[in-house]
Chain A
Amino acid sequence: MIELRQITAGYSGKAVIHDISLAFERGTITGIIGKNGCGKTTLLKTAANLLRPQAGSVLINGESVLGMPGKKIAAALSYLPQIREVPNMTVYNLVMHGRFPYLGFPRIPLEADRKIAKQAMELAGILACRDKNIRELSGGERQKAYIAMLLAQDTDAVFLDEPTTYLDINHQLEILELIRQLKKMGKTLVMVVHDLSSALCYSDRICLMEKGRIAVCDTPDAVFKSGEIERIFHVACEQVPVKDSRGKRYVFSLDHAGS
């Protein structure tokens, strides 16, 4: 369980997010949405311990991250950045890097590490591309390879920054399904998503941000009913019933009240 208490954070001394208190429970998917520049990525990075907060504290299972050894944090949280280097290596090598927090010195992976890596690749559906160079993969496959690396890192909490942006629609849905599977395994998932529809559809809880603060944080249904999305984004939102496991989708159109 990851908890943020009265977090203020930003860059170069300037605060981007203010006084945020939030908890991410096990076995849940939290979707963070908001307009560009509202502080979504800042919040994610602070929660994933990549950005030091200017005020407040981040706790992992009740323990503050300050003073926690780096390897312990790395075994508890993993993070998928939005913009990534595309290194020149095979999928297998990339995924094996996920075991880095557990390797002693010298860095020789053990049989157990290799097994975990294999399982991670299987889960992500990328085992077939094991020996392929990452640069040869499609965007979606590449994303799966990265997620496999995160899986190999075997953390309870996984933070993803825009995991589906720029992907083809089939890959987008595959990634989201994968995230759902991870939730079933009991992991804590927090994702920043640009596409409101996917966010509302797949999250257990939605965190809508505005100008560095949380506007509303509740179930997708509750957030929808609160009307905040419509206010902040200047759009009209409708719930549409769909005959599948989830039962409904959300559709957006331009708000006509102001025009």
Chain B
Amino acid sequence: MNIWPGSYIPKILNRGGKDYNIAVIALLALSLTIAAGLSIALGSARLTPAEMLEALSGKDLTSSAYQIVRFVRLPRTLAAILAGCGLSVSGLVLQAVLNNSLAGPSVIGVNSGAGLFTVLMAAFFPGTLQFAPAAAFVGALTAALLVYFIAQKTGASRMAIVLSGTAVSSFIGAITDTVLTVKPDTAISRTEFLIGGLSGIVLQQVKIPSLIILTSIFALILLGYDMNVLALGDETAKSLGMKVPLYRFLFLALAALLAGSAVSFAGLIGFVGLIIPHAARFLVGYDNRVLVPVCALLGGVFSLFCDILSRTLFAPYEVPVGIIMSFLGGPFFVVLLLRQKRGRLYD
């Protein structure tokens, strides 16, 4: 079954282009820097450019401008970038390894696992809300392990993993709902966590996840070639000397680490993991060596953009960032699909 989607390489632009790829990456890096700057400059409190500069120079540590920039906007900017990077690359890896362009972190149970553990903590150990991120992370990885373990019993083929992931996610979701029904006074409701958001982020929450995310992305850049080989098919990859089950597990583990880390501080910001890989493929094609950095950068930019909107549109009220992402991402996704159809005519 040929499940690779149609050619996204824009024929006009791509000259098989190493130069093109470099240009795209450079452009994205620039966009990311600009977006980060905007994220620090914009917010619900109005800061004049003079106040901004003063805040960045750190001269007056007690000025509210400094405090806002240092303790509210900076952590939030970093968190948005990391969440966007982590989830996008996680989605890319899953789509590549499972050869399923509708795969996202939720497919391997990461989202539901994080949700369950967070709810369990809030329901049975109230007053320990500061450990919620750690719980989310542990839950995400536990669920992913469970999914892989079950799939492994039937040979860990791509289909087995997707099926196992769906089954485990549904099951875990049911348990979560049961807990919430039995204990309706739980401080964290399912919907809050489901939508996800970066409000009130503290730098402390982001330290360890950021290390994990950056290291994982770095590892995946180096492993881009191996992802390409795996994409040729299990048999071809094996005959080229690749230990297919080992590498599949390795990639799934990295994807789970990325998504689990992001979910631990950002909640279940959906959609990034699903659409950014498609957008990236539209830009630079299917070579995973290029796709990993492009996804990371594109994910960071998109996430920042949505987060800026989420906190400035109706200040001081915050629109959950997940909703903004769906609003922007949904139509964009449709456009991508339509372009694919048109592309087919010329194939």
A–B direct touch, CB within 8 Å, in complex?
Answer: yes
What string of 1s and 0s marks CB contacts (under 8 Å) between B214-242 and chain A? 00000000100110110111011011111
A87 and B7 contact, CB distance less than 8 A:
no
When A70-B243, A71-B241 are in contact, do A136 and B347 touch as well, CB less than 8 Å?
Answer: yes
Answer yes or no: A84 CB below 8 A from chain B CBs: yes
A87→B4 CA distance, assembly (Å): 7
A177 within 8 A of B: no
The answer to whether B225 and A103 touch across the interface, beta carbons within 8 angstroms, is: yes
User: Using a Cβ–Cβ cut-off of 8 Å, how many residues does chain B contribute to the interface with A?
Assistant: 27
**How many pairs of residues, A versus B, come closer than 8 Å at their CB atoms?**
81
Query: Is A21 an interface residue when CB atoms closer than 8 A count as contact?
Result: no
Q: How far is the CB of A84 from chain B (nearest CB, A)?
A: 6
CA distance A194 to B239 in the complex (A): 22
Given A79-B235, A85-B232, A85-B233, A93 contacting B287 (CB threshold 8 A): yes
Within 8 A of B (CB), among A58-99: 70-71, 73-75, 77-79, 81, 84-90, 93-94, 97-98
In the complex, whether A206 has a CB less than 8 A from a CB of chain B is no
Report the separation of the CA atoms of residues A45 and B287 in the bound assembly, to the nearest whole angstrom.
29
Whether, in the assembled complex, B16 has its beta carbon less than 8 Å from a beta carbon of chain A, the answer is yes
**Cβ proximity bits A91-114 to B, threshold 8 Å, 1 near / 0 not:** 001100110110101110000000
With A97-B240, A101-B241, A103-B225 as known contacts, state yes or no: A131 contacts B233, CB within 8 Å: no
B contact residues around A84 at 8 Å (CB): 232-233, 236
CB of A240 within 8 Å of the partner chain:
no
Indicate whether A133 sits within 8 Å of B243 (C-beta atoms), given known contacts A85-B99, A89-B286: no
| C-alpha spacing A117/B38, complex, angstroms | 48
A76 CB → nearest B CB, Å? 10
The answer to the question of A50 belonging to the interface, with a C-beta cut-off of 8 Å to chain B, is yes
Q: Does B29 contact A (CB under 8 A)?
A: no
Instruction: Say whether, besides A79-B235, A131-B16, A100 and B286 are in contact (CB < 8 Å).
Output: no
Cβ-closest chain B residue relative to A70: B241
Least CB distance from A65 to B in Å reads 12
> Can you report 20 A-B residue pairs in the complex whose CB atoms are below 8 A from each other?
A50-B235, A50-B238, A70-B242, A70-B243, A71-B241, A77-B239, A81-B235, A84-B236, A85-B233, A86-B2, A88-B4, A88-B285, A88-B286, A89-B286, A100-B229, A101-B241, A106-B222, A106-B225, A133-B9, A153-B240
